[in-house]
A and B are shown apart, each in its own frame.
Chain A
Amino acid sequence: MQIGVLAIQGGFSKHENSLRKLNVNPIEVKYEYQLNNCDGLIIPGGESTTISKLLNKYYLINPIKEFAKTKPIFGTCAGLILMSRNSNDSRVENLNIIDVEINRNGWGRQISSFSQMIKIGQNLNYEIEAIFIRAPKIFNIGEKVEVLAEINGEPVFVKQGIHFGATFHPELTEDITIHKLFIESIAV
């Protein structure tokens, strides 16, 4: 299995580390043709305005939308902002892959960044440390979207069909539960 990690800007190298721990070969994706070799794609955290502008400039928006029709994408933080239906900010062009709206920096500036133990899934019973960095908030969730984790009623990890999105950064901890969940969903 080969998983692409969009390497336009942001925390892509940490995602590559998490994938290697699962014996999955990561491909740093900067060009359209590289998507052909990927069974799935991770869109990392970073600055959504920067990544969005570069995706636009280098004609990657439509190829990623096409990719999403048949293959799974997992977005973390800025990655989820890009995958959302709408992030209510003209500075970011949304890919409309997961039917949620996003409030960018919904938890505040860096001083409000936090980490917290969260439970994943209703029957899965995983508990992991989730790291939120200037994290977005999810709202107006579509019917097809399943909430896999929340904090005080705020959804932080969602799934729609084959796609996943998290407002936190599983790649920043040693725990590989979330990446494993994504990889196993592809293997099945």
Chain B
Amino acid sequence: MKKGTLELKIGLAEMLKGGVIMDVTNQEQAKIAEDSGAVAVMALERIPADIRVEGGVSRMSAPELIQSIQNTVSIPVMAKCRIGHFAEAQILESLEVDFIDESEVLTPADEENHINKLDFKVPFVCGATNLGEALRRIGEGAALIRTKGEPGTGNVVEAVRHMRTITDQMSWVKSLRNEQLMSAGKELGAPVSLLKIVKETGKLPVPNFSAGGIATPADASLMMQLGAETIFVGSGIFKAEDPIRMAKAIVDSVTFFKDGKKLVQASTGLSEAMKGMEISSIPDDQRLAERGW
């Protein structure tokens, strides 16, 4: 019997495809997420929009919060640790969370190194803004990649930029000849062994999800059509005026992401989405996507 292998880690990511993963901060929200059809919840103390406003150092959630959410829902429970903070990750693994998000939403603990995720039996998801970053994280053992986007803004523009960058760079790698791969690896800062897989398959070696600024059913459909295989929604649901309707509408829009009529239904009668903010209004040092490398 084998446990904790990459195959098993990626296996769970495969099962989360075509779904919505929702940020929740308490049992009540976790229940709403599950009842609305979420495939998993991300247990955290503050959603990104509030982290932005309140500032301070953002850390791993308290164990009792994570456990209370584990006791509430039957779907997988994810939790975030700080970039490079492997001790937080060890605690999350001991809590038996189903996925660890080494996340730029929290304050980084190491500005040079991410966690060596191969040391863990629990799978990791990491954010990426381009192909090189995605492949570096996979090289460290990530079993799932998501766009970083710009979390807590309700503005999808950065998620779109990151997804387009990753897919464009993959198309480029696919067009290269073998003798060009080493040079491409140098340019992207990516392991050549993983670039070879991208060249052969035209895809990342792990599933590719999207996060960061998705706030409406149309945003979710957009990201799915751009190549995302599942959607993370952070602030978009519980900062909306009617979270239950918004949660259900985004779930529907992911399953039927190419069906115009279903998208009209999902987008109708939703009340207000979260207010959202212009990316240019955020000072450079407060842009979360810049965290990690």
Residues of A within 8 A of B (CB): 7-14, 30, 45-47, 49-50, 53-54, 57, 77-78, 89, 91, 104-105, 108-116, 131, 133-134, 169, 172
Give A53's nearest chain B residue, CB to CB. Answer: B37
Contact of B15 (CB < 8 Å), options: A11, A54, A112: A11
A-B contact pairs, 7 of them (CB 8 A): A9-B39, A10-B17, A10-B18, A13-B17, A54-B252, A113-B12, A134-B98
B-side interface residues, number (CB < 8 Å): 39
Give A131's nearest chain B residue, CB to CB. Answer: B11
Residues of B within 8 A of A (CB): 1-5, 7-8, 11-12, 14-19, 34-40, 74-76, 93, 96-99, 121-123, 251-252, 254-256, 259
CB–CB A9/B93 < 8 A: no
CB–CB B15/A46 < 8 A: yes
Given A14-B14, A49-B75, A116-B1: A54 touches B98 (CB 8 Å cut-off): no
CB–CB B8/A131 < 8 A: yes
Q: Which residues of A contact B14 (CB under 8 A)?
A: 11, 14, 45, 169, 172
CB–CB A114/B3 < 8 A: yes
Most buried by B among A30, A77, A113, A169: A113
CB–CB B74/A49 < 8 A: yes
Report the separation of the CA atoms of residues A50 and B38 in the bound assembly, to the nearest whole angstrom: 6
CB–CB B255/A110 < 8 A: no
Give B229's nearest chain A residue, CB to CB. Answer: A13
Given A30-B256, A110-B98: A46 touches B2 (CB 8 Å cut-off): no
Contact of A110 (CB < 8 Å), options: B1, B17, B76, B252: B76
B-side interface mostly: loop
CB–CB B122/A110 < 8 A: yes
Give B36's nearest chain A residue, CB to CB. Answer: A53
Report the separation of the CA atoms of residues A78 and B37 in the bound assembly, to the nearest whole angstrom: 14
CB–CB B96/A46 < 8 A: no
Q: Which residues of A contact B96 (CB under 8 A)?
A: 108-111
B203 to chain A, nearest CB (A): 11
Q: Which residues of A contact B74 (CB under 8 A)?
A: 49, 89, 91, 104-105
Contact of B7 (CB < 8 Å), options: A78, A112, A115: A115
Given A8-B255, A9-B255, A115-B1: A47 touches B15 (CB 8 Å cut-off): yes
Contact of A49 (CB < 8 Å), options: B4, B7, B8, B34: B34
CB–CB A47/B39 < 8 A: yes
A54 to chain B, nearest CB (A): 6
CB–CB A9/B19 < 8 A: yes
Q: Which residues of B contact A57 (CB under 8 A)?
A: 252
A103 to chain B, nearest CB (A): 11
